Structure 1
């Protein structure tokens, strides 16, 4: 089922929004201009995952070298610090066994109709009648 969340300009890069969709709490994230959605529930103990800190992480590198990357692509659970990749929903620690449900997100151009409220008008025996 399709749900309109907001206008693109209302969710700038680096921000997120939590919405209720069909009885589910879902976090929608803007990561570098791309949009992603995760279930707002940590698989560890059902904490509200999407209110956690969004950050990056250290990347594999040579001994004594520290590379930092994936800025804005990792969400950390506010209760116990479990980290998940926003782009895939996979756990940073155990990506093959632990993950968060992801949802498809699309950006659509929607033509907004400009409407004017109108009423039905009839002429009955020389009287004008408006139906509201």
Structure 2
């Protein structure tokens, strides 16, 4: 089952949109023709992330993650962040996340 998190038209050409997802937040952004998403939570202490220059950066301790690969670039986070959360934007109007991914987002918090 999929859940609409935003409209494709709401996703900015640069930067990201923070959308609610069952009591949590996800960053949603464009990557070429694709729309991608990641939980808005750092894997260090669970701080919120900012979108800056192609990176998701922890507001608390400065851990930085590459938005394309999810790789940890710097900071105290122990591992990479998942930027490959399945997003369905093929219909061209809605951005949907699969409800089965809620477990993955919970593990990140």
- Contact 1:84 1:99 (C-alpha < 8 Å) held by counterparts: yes
Q: How far has the Cα of 1:91 moved from its partner?
A: 0.6
The question of 1:23 aligning with 2:4 is answered no
The question of 1:107 aligning with 2:89 is answered yes
TM-score (norm 1): 0.56
Structure with higher Rg: it is 1
What corresponds to 1:84 in structure 2?
A: 65
Q: Distance in 2 between matches of 1:24 and 1:101?
A: 15
Q: How far has the Cα of 1:30 moved from its partner?
A: 1.9
RMSD value, Cα: 2.4
What corresponds to 2:39 in structure 1?
A: 39
Q: Distance in 1 between matches of 2:19 and 2:38?
A: 11
Instruction: Evaluate the alpha carbon distance shift between residue 34 and residue 110 of structure 1 in structure 2; reply closer, same or farther with a 3 A threshold.
Output: closer
Q: Distance in 2 between matches of 1:110 and 1:28?
A: 15
Q: Which ranges of 4 or more aligned residues in structure 1 deviate by more than 6 Å?
A: none
The question of 1:12 aligning with 2:12 is answered yes
Gaps of 5+ in 1: 56-72, 112-132
